[in-house]
Each structure stands twice: as C-alpha cells, then as structure tokens.
A and B are shown apart, each in its own frame.
Chain A
Amino acid sequence: MDKNISFTLKVWRQRGPKEKGEFKSYYMEDIPGDTSFLEMLDILNEMLINRGEEPIVFDHDCREGICGMCSLYINGHPHGPATGATTCQIYMRRFHDGDIITVEPWRSAGFPVIRDLMVDRRAFDKIMAAGGYVSVNTGGVPDANAIPIPKEKADEAMDAAACIGCGACVAACKNGSAMLFVSAKVSQLALLPQGKVEAKRRVKAMLAKMDELGFGACTNTRACEAECPKCVSISNIARLNRQFIGAKFKD
C-alpha cells in the first residue's frame, strides 16, 4: 500500500479566454499514493462543488494514455514528472508529503486558454485536415500482403503513429513549435507505400497550415522529444525537413 500524502496544489484559474487568470492554492489532505493525478483533481472538484465554488475545468477522456485529451503542465513538465506517460497515467505516489504542486495549462499562442486548465487545441485538427490523410478510392479491400513493406519501415511508421496529438510538444517548446506533431503525422504516412503517393502535397500543405496558425519554428532543443508522452523522435523532424526541402526543389 502507498502512503497517504498531503500537499498544496497551485492551480491556474481563468474564467474565459479574454479574462485575466491567476493562481489559486488548494490544500489537499490525506490523498492515497495510488490516486491518479486526474482522480486527485476529481476529489478537489468534489470538494469545491460541496463548498459551493466553481470546479476546475480540465481536459480528460480515456484516462489510459491513448486518447491525447489530457494535458496539464505540472511542476514545469507537460504531463508531469514521468517520461513516456500522460497526465492520466501519473500517480500521486510520485509526489511527496508537503510538496507544492503547480498546475498550469499549455501556454502557447497556438493553444489559447478556454477556461482554467483547458486549452483550444483545434489548431491540430486544422493541420490534420490540411493533408494528414491518404486519399483512397472506395472499392474492394486490397489483400493485406499485396504490397510488401520492410519491417524497419513499418516499425518507424508505427513509432510515428504513436503520436496522440496531445500538444505536449508545443507546450514544452520554447518556440511554441508544432514540428514534432506535424513531423510524426507526415512520417507515419510518408514511410509507407500507400502514403508516399501524396507525400509532397501533404508535407507542403501541413507545414503551411502550421505556419499559418502561428506556431513557431524548430530550433532543435529537443525539449519536445524529452517531454513527449509517446517518445516520438526528432528524427521525424529531420524527415519532415528533408521531404519539405525536396518538394520545394521539385517545384
């Protein structure tokens, strides 16, 4: 059994996109170590509701680290102190008795705050809509083994496809750049024969969308890779650069 801990939670409260936000402190008493971070916030919200206060707004959905909905910048790290895990996979046993835990929303011009800890990540959907797909004519399903794909290529594509689009890369980047996200979405298709056909159009469209939506440029600090809950590699960014430059030279 994990020990129970008591700590102070400093949470960013902001009523709306245009309003000024501020930190509010909440004292949490006797929280079991096997409580997940989001469950802990549920407990706090329950308390707030019982006291007649407004509960804290935060994003969450599957709570098993695959949907990409949860966010939170905890003690200076997107998705908290663990590597290769999302906020919903963080347990309170990672923190200590008497800690002050600071919880902030993703902060980036591309992700404006909607309320409290919830930010607007629709920019990612717009980037995907710009070209993050394969155009297929409907018809009979082709045989799975009709197109041979080397194992390494399939693995690389799968590693890129592990991206859940949570936006931790943008939150971690000092330039608010979405390069890791865009490069993963470009790579997962460009590595495979089915996606190669539209690779040039895709990379140009997605990158142009990223720039248009106000995300920054990559300076190769590798903060995104270090904080990514799915450990997506910056080698994808090199591939994105390579493909983009290649496509531009072809024009």
Chain B
Amino acid sequence: MWLFNSSVGKKVVMSVTGLALILFLTFHMTMNCVALFSAEGYEWICNFLGANWYAMVATIGLAILMVIHIVYAFWLTWTNRKARGAERYAVTARPKGVEFASRNMLVLGIIVFVGLFVHLFHFWSKMQLVELQGGEPAAGVELIRYTFSKWYNVLLYLIWFLALWFHLTHGFWSALQTIGFNNKKWYVRLKWISYIFVTLIMGGFATVLILFFCAEGLNWAIFPGLFQGLVG
C-alpha cells in the first residue's frame, strides 16, 4: 500500500492528518471566542459537546488523527535520519530562504504534544472526563476564568501557542505542497495564506486568553458591554 511504503505516500498521511487537525483548531478557536461575548452561549457549546455519542466519536477520531500524525512523524524522522547517513558535516550553514520552523517540526511538535497534556489536565479532565464517569462537569466559563486568572498558566499557554504558530506556519503550506497543490505562482500565495490564517487562529486563542487574564487576574473591566462573557 503506497501510504505505508512510499516516501510521498507517508508524507500524504502527514499532510492530510495535519490539515484535519488545523481544521479542528479553527473550530476550537471559533468556539473559544464565544466565551468572550456570552457565557451562556459558551455553556451551550459545552453541553452540546459533552459526553454524548457524536462528541465522543469526534473526540476518538481526533485522538486517532493525532496518533497517526505523531507515529508517522517519528517514523519519517527515523528513516530520514538514516538516509542522512552516519557521517555529519563539520560545518553547516542555513541557506537563504530556509526557515527555522521547517527544520524543527519534530521538536515543535513535541512541545505542542507536551502542552496538550497540560491543556487536557486543565479542561478535558474536569469536563468531558468527569461527565463520562457519571459526575457533573465543571462550568466551562468558570473553568476558563479560574485557569487564566493565574499568570503562570497564561505564560505557559502563550509559549505553547508560539510553538504551534511556528509548527503551523510551516505545516499549512507544506501540507498543500505535499498533496501537490502548489506551483511557482501559488507558492507565494500559499505562504501568505499560511501566515495570515495561522496568525488569525493562534491570535484568536491568545486574545481569549489575554482578555480573560485582564478581566480575572488583573480585574480590569474591558468593554463590559461587548465582552459580556468576561463579566463574572
């Protein structure tokens, strides 16, 4: 099967799972933004994506995508390092046009993965997991308020977002290149789309985080009329 035994096939698996995960992040970010405007609306989303069958199917699907993406990442890195050979260059220089992210996708991915566990511990373990065990899930907005009133959590999440930003700015255009959707004209466009789209996603996440920290951690009233979710 070409998805297992050819280099391009393996890359296609990385590409498609990666794109699906970006799609998930897009939805996740959109739903987070709801928490800014309406606590009620956010609670509705939390209930909607609680421990019901469709949310469970989606969660398991997401976990499978992650696992495939990670397993293939290590598999490809291992074969690529083998292809590089045992002897390393004594002097190396980074050529013009080669970006930091593109050379460090595995390291960035590992940071993202570790951050994911912190995130699951903060939220998932107190919401969907509790509900699965038959308990009463924590209120979503309250949990956000509590978690992001702590400056160290905010810092940790911002570092996590930065790693994700680097990972995705390379990942997005690279995924499209791998499935063959690129040429000389589209290369420049794809790079721009990557930067703008990924900055929007990660910026959305960061905005929610920072505004909640300002409202809860620093007790600032930020446009209470607009951001009703922030008003506790």
Contact = CB atoms under 8 A, between A and B. Distances in A.
A75 B79 CA distance: 27
B145 interface: no
Given A207-B6, A216-B7, A220-B102, A175 B182 contact: no
Interface residues of B, number: 46
Contacts of A239: 180, 183
Interface string A146-177: 00000000000000000000000000101111
Interface residues of A, number: 52
Contacts of A77: 93, 95
> By DSSP majority rule, is chain B's interface helix, strand, loop, or mixed?
helix
A145 B147 CA distance: 72
A48 to B, nearest CB: 21
Contact of B103 (A75, A174, A225): A174
B76 interface: yes
A47 B48 CA distance: 81
Interface string A202-241: 0000011011001111111111011100000111011111
B85 interface: yes
Nearest to B5: A211
A222 B83 contact: no
Most buried by B among A23, A235, A238: A238
Contact of B10 (A174, A217, A221): A217
List the 9 closest A-B pairs by CB distance, nearest first.
A242-B180, A216-B83, A76-B93, A226-B95, A175-B80, A176-B83, A217-B7, A238-B182, A216-B80
Given A215-B7, A216-B84, A218-B11, 7 more contacts: A104-B90, A108-B84, A216-B7, A218-B178, A220-B170, A221-B99, A242-B180
Interface of B: 2, 5-12, 76, 79-99, 102-103, 105, 170, 173-174, 177-184, 187
Interface of A: 10, 21, 23, 73, 75-77, 83, 102, 104, 107-110, 113, 172, 174-177, 179, 207-208, 210-211, 214-223, 225-227, 233-235, 237-246, 248
